[in-house]
Amino acid sequence: MISIERIRAAAERARPHVLRTPLLPVEGAQLKAECLQPTGSFKVRGFFAAALALPPDQLKRGLITVSAGNAAQACAYVAHQLGVFCRVVMFDTAPAIKVDGVKRWGATPIPMPREDLFRWIETEGWNKEPEAFLHPFNNDELMAGHGGLGLELIEEIPDLARVLVPVGGGGLLTGVASALKGSKPGIEVIGVQSDGYAMWPKVFEAGGPVPMKVETIADGTTAPFDAKMLGLLKEVVDRWLIVPEPRLKAAIPELAAKAKVVAEGAGALAYAALEQIESGPPTVAVVSGGNIDPALLATLLSNQRGASSPTARA
């Protein structure tokens, strides 16, 4: 686990730059709306905490990261706010809204095919670059910064019993779970993935890395396996839930209609999983991000309208 002292220090560094996001009620739970952060996801918490922990001479060199999209935007935004240069290695299939978000803050995207990007990570390609590298999930200061979300939950819901968190690389879940269990060990932490990329449940079942194929709209959860994260997640996750992809696709328009929240695929996972748990104990589902491709959102909304129309029901 990340120590509670480290989490508190990281959260304090990030605090002037991030939002204390609201809790929104839905049936049987509350939603932690991280989609309302400046770049549309929780990632700014960790990137501010990690960047501000760098020695000044390293920070002046600029920042570089690797990302499916949300970490890319967060790194770009943080670099812009701190007045330093930034480049981001991204999947060449990243949604246009996420690529545009990187450019919006003055950073330079470096598109790579998926396998080339994973190879760049495996060979630590950042060591050949001039900027200071911030890993998008396997970075202790970054995970500690994400833990600030957990601290807010404990302050706002003293009798909090369980939290559902979407999982990609595992940085958000590790930070939040460390904050929760470092403060109240009895809180249940539930990791959530789609059946279109249920890497971590399969990894724990197999005892190590497994071949994976991406078949999900939750692109923010399609991170590669990382051995360090395996150990951390084993320590802090109480159980895993897997959301069928059709349920995830239905959850996005459902969130928009019922909670007035626009969530991307990864952001809707925890909410989509609520139907799998018993009601009762005070529960929070983390809506991790809202950077959904507008065309995908329009399609999902249209499909939902069609499914609920009188003609469709007849």
Q: What is the pLDDT of residues 78-127, one digit of tens each?
A: 999 999 999 999 889 888 888 888 899 999 999 999 889 889 988 999 99
Strand-pairing partners, residue 88, are 65, 109
Reported as a pLDDT band with limits 50, 70 and 90, residue 309 is very low
**CA–CA gap between residue 46 and residue 191 (Å, rounded):** 19
pTM score of the predicted model: 0.92
Percentage with pLDDT > 90 across the chain: 85
The full DSSP string for 240-290 is EEEE-HHHHHHHHHHHHHHT-----HHHHHHHHHGGGS-S-S-EEEEE-B-
The DSSP output letter for 90 is E
Q: CA 68 → CA 161, 168, 258, distances in Å? A: 31, 10, 28
Comparing CA positions, the residue from 98, 31, 71 lying closest to residue 292 is: 98
pLDDT class for 67, splitting at 50, 70, 90?
confident
- Where do the domains of the chain lie, and which CATH numbers do they carry? 4-41+143-302 (3.40.50.1100), 44-133 (3.40.50.1100)
176, burial (CB in 10 Å: exposed 0-12, middle 13-18, buried 19+): buried
| Range with lowest mean pLDDT among 182-186, 219-223, 294-298, 303-307 | 303-307
Question: How far does the chain reach from its first CA to its final CA, in angstroms?
Answer: 53
Are β-strands 108-112 and 132-133 bridged in parallel, bridged antiparallel, or unpaired?
A: unpaired
With CA atoms as reference, report the closest residue to 285 among 186, 185, 157.
157
CB hemisphere CA count around 7 (13 angstroms): 24
Structural contact between residues 1 and 177, judged by C-beta atoms closer than 8 angstroms: yes
Spatial neighbors of 165 by CB under 8 A, at least 6 apart, are: 172, 173, 176, 177, 189, 190, 191, 192, 270, 286, 288
pLDDT in tens, 118-142: 899 889 999 999 999 999 999 999 9
